[in-house]
Amino acid sequence: MLLIACPNCGPRAQAEFSFERPLASIVTPTETLPDLIQKLFTRENPRGPSWELWRHTYGCAGWLKVHRDTHNHQISAVLPVDMETPS
């Protein structure tokens, strides 16, 4: 089980969190149709590190940006959702 360091609550077990979607797949009201299809369906599905949107559902209920490797489970950053991701 992952140990996720919530910026509000500190390190907590994965059981308190829920994965929502890749960060690149957040849909805005002004998407073009090709972008919408890519965000909803043809996602990158990376085997390696990427940014994801998670929620500390059973903790502070805050939305979080998580930089996580889908192959070795390493988490290198957890940010509040309103903070810019480093490029």
Partner 1 sequence: MQRYSALSLLRGGLNGQKSWQRAWRDPAPKAHYDVIIIGGGGHGLATAYYLAKVHGIRNVAVLERSWIGGGNTGRNTTIVRSNYRQPALHNLFEFSLKLWEGMSDDLNYNVMFSQRGAMFLGHSDSDMIRLAERGDAMRAAGIDAEFMTMDQLRKKLPLLDLSDNARYPIVGALNQPRGGTARHDAVAWGYARAADALGVDVIQNCEVLGMDMVGGRVTGVQTTRGTIGADRVGICVAGNSGQVAAMADLRLPIESHLLQAFVSEPVKPMIDMVIMSQSIHAYVSQSDKGEIVMGGDPDLYPTYSQRGRPDRIEGVAGQCIALFPALSRLRMLRSWAGTTDMSFDGSPIIGTTPVEGLYLNGGWCYGGFKATPASGWTYAHTLAKGEPHALNAPFSLDRFETGATIDETGAGPMPHHR
C-alpha dist (Å) from residue 17 to 2, 27, 33, 79: 10, 21, 31, 14
Residue count of the chain, please give it. 87
Least separation in angstroms between CB 56 and partner 1? 14
Residue 26 or 43 with smaller CB distance to partner 1 = 43
Least separation in angstroms between CB 37 and partner 1? 5
Residues at the contact surface with partner 1, assessed by CB under 8 A: 1-2, 13-15, 18-19, 22, 37-38, 40-45, 47, 52, 70-73
Residue 42 or 84 with smaller CB distance to partner 1 = 42
SS3 content of the chain, % helix, strand, coil (to 5): 15, 40, 45
